[in-house]
Structure 1
């Protein structure tokens, strides 16, 4: 080897060593704890609280139905090595439950948001006595989730717990503001008009918090995987007529064909309005985060029931 070639080889080796040292010193996303979250609504909340202190992997994609969504083998593998697994619980993640259970059996630490709230039960049909998993429609219950989640996130190895606590307090203030805005907006709806009809029972917590009546749902119970019977629809048409319902609400994650057929069957003009209830949208949609989703739904409910 020539002297020039030797110097070139030595320089190249030095560059490789220097690069490896720098790479070893520089923090990467893989150095952070991994928090896996089942639903995209909770994923947004977790990301707001944890900031850059941890990597957040949300399983259920924007616009998907959490009752029926399934994950890839790669996502299932990452779930089993998470530092913390955050799920909704209360029977919501029907398509994911086997993976959540497997992770728990393998010792993955878990936080179930539903355990942090005062739960409601359904009162009608086959679902009577079953817990309602849709607590996020009440911002005060989401505040309870954040309060319980913050210590779990702060305790993760390698995070700045004080930073997470500060972000949690800031987000709780945002939720408090949201609750006040919703209460003020709904106060403008006359009491006799506060009647809700949706694809399936998803607004029990909102109804309790802001004094609405849940007249009924096209699909009985709390899951989109159930199916309505002709008698269910006939009873609901009667309820719509008797309550003078002027608008029914279709969820963004479910087709609204059934709701439009139901509205036509009522024999009166009933507007069908789409809401974002069980899933966020992508950045180009109308509900890219939880706060925006709740504000948009509030505006649409007020418009639909006040006209």
Structure 2
């Protein structure tokens, strides 16, 4: 006898398992896992015909939630797999006459200054990882830094900015990704993650899907980058040009005039500057039946869509269940050689 597919959400509220209490009221849920630039979020919508959730059961803002998405009998009878969605802090609660929606963010409890307090601070003779470690420590968090590139600053100032906005700008400028979750600040080089083995091949003729959209553009895309810097005190000019492998036929050259002290440093800057512009050339939006394998910063192979075939990195994975469990992926084509 074939058992029916089943998907559901397990939820812990302030350390207590409330899954049985939620089950009769749960209308739907969504979880958005972002690679960089935005906090992950969890949204839970509950029916409230009896107005319990806006009175005695009203959740406390700032309380922590943890959640797990579970699939049963998905690919075989008796099979069970799950996806740990992480720990979240209740940030917003919305209601209408018959439902309550709880929105929680992946900013840990006790780290309100990360996104809610503007600060002024200065550092001297320090690397990006050192700054990030200092910010993490001041917010009761730990740091995970996964990049061979770790820019050095003679002086760096944070002026009327939250820690989150400040760190995001430094990471954007360095071409690195920033993510916050599970009490950690994670900074990583997504070029390194693009080199990892794909977790799945999504074949047009074999892989079930709900929707597919793809886009490629030449707007803001460059074939090469030239870094040129003249040190007036030494009367010396350092110049390096990097041409992208499989370069788009735009003929446009990105020109960067920024201090470098060697040809090797100019080469690194050229590659990173070109990559920062060219990562937006080709992207795909794809909705699939719910699959707990798919998370941001993992890679997949796309097959059967002609010029859009190739290796892609997941920049966002949005898991949701409104009756049926789906996952919507935002994909970006991996760049080769830089």
* TM-score computed with the length of structure 2 as normaliser: 0.23
| Structure number with higher strand proportion | 2
The structure with the largest helix share of the pair is: 1
Question: TM-score scaled by structure 1?
Answer: 0.25
